[in-house]
Amino acid sequence: MDAPRCDQTEAWTALAGHYEAHGRELDLREAFARDPGRFASLSVEAPEVFADLSKNLVDLATLKFLVDLARECRLEERRDAMFAGAPVNSTEGRAVLHTALRAPRGQGPFSDEVHGVLDAMLAYAESVRDTAASGIRHVVNIGIGGSDLGPQMAVPALDAFVHPGLQFHFVANVDGHDITPVLRHLKPAETLFIVASKTFTTQETMANAHAARAWFIKNGGTDTARHFVATTTNVKAAAEFGISTTFGFWDWVGGRYSLWSAIGLPLAIAIGAENFRALLAGAHAMDRHFAEAPLAKNLPALLGLLDLWYRNFHGFTSRSVAPYHQGLKRLPAYLQQLEMESNGKRVDLDGASLPYGTSPVVWGEPGTNGQHAYFQMLHQGTDVIPVEFILVKRPTHALADLHTKLLANGLAQSQALMLGKSSEQASNERAPTASKALDPATLARHRTFPGNRPSTTLLLDQLTPRSLGTLIAMYEHRVFTSGALWGINSFDQWGVELGKALCSDLLPRLASGEATGLDASTAGLLARLRA
C-alpha cells in the first residue's frame, strides 16, 4: 500500500509546531489544575481494559494532532489491509493474520483450517488433563522466542485457572543449566514434552529436545511417541525424531504473535479448552475494538501514537512496564520481544535509512518489587522514562488486605511520578534517617523530586483468560500502529539471523580451534575457551 512515512506528512510538521509551542513544556500539575475534567476526557474504555491516559504529557490538542498524523499515514487503511490478509509483511511476501486465529468459526480468513487445528489441539489438551487416564503430571515446553515467551508468560498469569494436578516447566536457553534442574525432578512416565518449532530445525530448541529425549530413554522411558508432541509444520522431521502427534500452523503466523495458535498448547493443557477459547474471545474483542473504534477513542491506536510522541518528539528512549499483579511477572519479557523485535528497525519499507528513532527499550518488573529496585531512577534519575502501570481490581486470592496494599502502592507511584516534591516541601519535612552533618538546604535538594514524569495506568477488573487475551491483543495492535507510522515492517526480524549464522560457523571451531579468518577478539576468546 502506498502510504506516506510519518515525517513526510503535513501532519508531522503541524505536530512538530505544536510540540515546540505547547508540548515541550506541558506540566501535568498545571494541566490538572486548569482542567478538572482532564481524567474523564483522557481516559479510554476498551473491552476488559480501562486506560487512564491523563498522566501523560498530552492534552486533547496533542491527541488531535496525533490522530491527524495517523490518518494522513493511512493507518486505518493499513489496519484493514492486515485484517483482510494483504501481504503487509512485505520483505517476506506474507500476510499477517494472527487475528484470524481468534476469529469465531466462519468469521475469519482460513477459518476451516484454523478451527480444524484448534479443535484437534483442544481435544488433545483435554486428554492430557485427564490425568487419571494420561498419567501425566508434568508438562515441559521446549521452545525459544515466540515459541516460549507467550506460554511462559500466560501460564503463571492464569495460575488460578491451571489444572491442580499438573505442573508446567519451560525450557528455552541452550545453556544446559536451564534444562538440567527441570529434568532432575521428573519421571519419564509422568512427563509430557512439547517441542515447539515451526521448522523443527531451530538450533536451540532441537538441542534441548535431543537432550530431553536422551534423558527420557536413559531413565527408562519407552514410548517416545506418547510422551513427546510437537507444534510444527515439519511433520516429516518430527516423525524422524519419534513424534507422531503434531499440531501445525501457517507462514502467516509470526513467532511473537503465535500464542493463539498451536504454540499455545501448553496453555491449553494448563487452563482447559473452555478457558483457552475465552482467551481467544478476549483477543477477538480487542481486534474488533481496534478495527471499529474511532481513532480518538481507539486504545491500541492511541498507545501507539503516544509511543511515537515520546520517542520522536520528547526523545524518551525507553518505557517501563510495571504490572501490579504477580501473575504478570513475565509480561515485560514477553513485551520485549513483541515490541523490540517488531519495531527495532532502522530502515523503512523501501530500505531507506530512517532519520528518527523507532522502538523504545521496554523493561520492567512486577509491582512493589520494582519500587525497591529501579523506581529510584524513575523518580530522581536524569532520564525521563514513561511508566505503564497495570492494576487488577479484583484478585483471585482471599488475602484482601494484601491486595488493598498492592493497589495503594500502584496508585501512589503514578501520583508521585506526576507530583514530585519541591525543595520547599522537602525542607519542611522531617527526615529522621538523614545525616545530621548535612545543612538543611543540601538535604532538601537530595530529597527533591522533579515530578511531571508521565505514566499510563491500565486497569483490569480481574485477570482472567478473557481479559488476558484482550490485554495481549491490545499490545499487538499498539505495535502495529507505531510501526505503520514509522513506515517500517513490524513483522520481519532479519536482525535475529546474523548471530545465528555466525554461531554455525563458530560451533565447529570450538572443537577444532581453527581461527583462520576470525577477528583478533573472537580468535583470542576462542583460544581461552579451549585452553
Strand partners, 195: 142, 230
**Averaged pLDDT for residues 36-49:** 98
Beta-sheet pairing, 43-46 with 49-52: antiparallel
Residues of the chain by 3-state class (helix, strand, coil), percent to 5: 55, 10, 35
Q: Is 341 a catalytic residue?
A: yes
pLDDT at 444 over 90: no
What b/e readout covers 254-289, taking b as 16+ CB neighbours within 10 angstroms?
A: bbbbbbbbbbbbbbbbbbbbebbbbbbbbbbbbbeb
Residue 436: what pLDDT? 86
**Averaged pLDDT for residues 156-176:** 97
What is the 3 state secondary structure string of 204-262?
HHHHHHHHHHHHHHHCCCCCHHHHEEEECCCHHHHHHHCCCCEECCCCCCCHHHCCCCH
CATH number of 6-87+293-427+438-492: 3.40.50.10490
Residue 171: what pLDDT? 98
DSSP for residue 6: G
Residue 433: what pLDDT? 87
C-alpha 148/C-alpha 196 separation (Å) is 8
Evaluate whether 245 touches 225 at the Cβ level (below 8 Å): yes
Q: Is 218 a catalytic residue?
A: no
Crossing angle of the two packed helices 60-72 and 299-308, in degrees rounded to 10: 90
Q: Where does the pLDDT of residue 431 fall: very low under 50, low under 70, confident under 90, or very high at 90 and above?
A: confident
Nearest residue to 205 via CA among 142, 141, 140 = 142
Q: Is 379 a catalytic residue?
A: no
Nearest residue to 44 via CA among 32, 35, 52 = 52
Residue 432: what pLDDT? 84
Share of the chain above pLDDT 90, in %: 93
**Averaged pLDDT for residues 262-266:** 98
pLDDT at 1 over 80: no
If residue 138 lies in a helix (H) or strand (E), which one and from where to where? strand 138-142
* Among the ranges given (227-236, 237-246, 343-352, 427-436), the one the predictor scored with the smallest mean pLDDT: 427-436
In the chain, where are the structural domains located?
6-87+293-427+438-492, 103-278, 498-530
- The count of C-alpha atoms lying within 13 angstroms of the C-alpha of 61, restricted to the half-sphere facing its C-beta, is 11
**Averaged pLDDT for residues 487-510:** 93
Residue 11: what pLDDT? 98
pLDDT at 310 over 80: yes
Residue 180: what pLDDT? 98
Catalytic option among 187, 236, 446, 500: 500
**Averaged pLDDT for residues 464-476:** 98
**186: three-class secondary structure by DSSP:** coil
DSSP for residue 48: T
Residues in the chain, total = 531
Residue 197: what pLDDT? 94
C-alpha 1/C-alpha 88 separation (Å) is 8
Beta-sheet pairing, 318-324 with 361-364: parallel
**Averaged pLDDT for residues 389-394:** 98
C-alpha 213/C-alpha 124 separation (Å) is 21
Domains 6-87+293-427+438-492 and 103-278 in one fold: yes
Catalytic option among 177, 372, 424, 436: 372
**364: three-class secondary structure by DSSP:** strand
Catalytic option among 48, 339, 341, 476: 341
Q: Where does the pLDDT of residue 229 fall: very low under 50, low under 70, confident under 90, or very high at 90 and above?
A: very high
Beta-sheet pairing, 387-394 with 455-462: parallel
Residue 500: what pLDDT? 86
Helix and strand numbers, DSSP H then E, in the chain: 25, 11
pTM: 0.96
Q: Which fold has domain 103-278?
A: Rossmann fold (3.40.50)
Residue 298: what pLDDT? 98
With 0-12 CB in 10 A as exposed, 13-18 as middle and 19+ as buried, what is 75? buried
Strand partners, 361: 318
C-alpha 361/C-alpha 381 separation (Å) is 17
Mean pLDDT across the chain, nearest whole number? 96
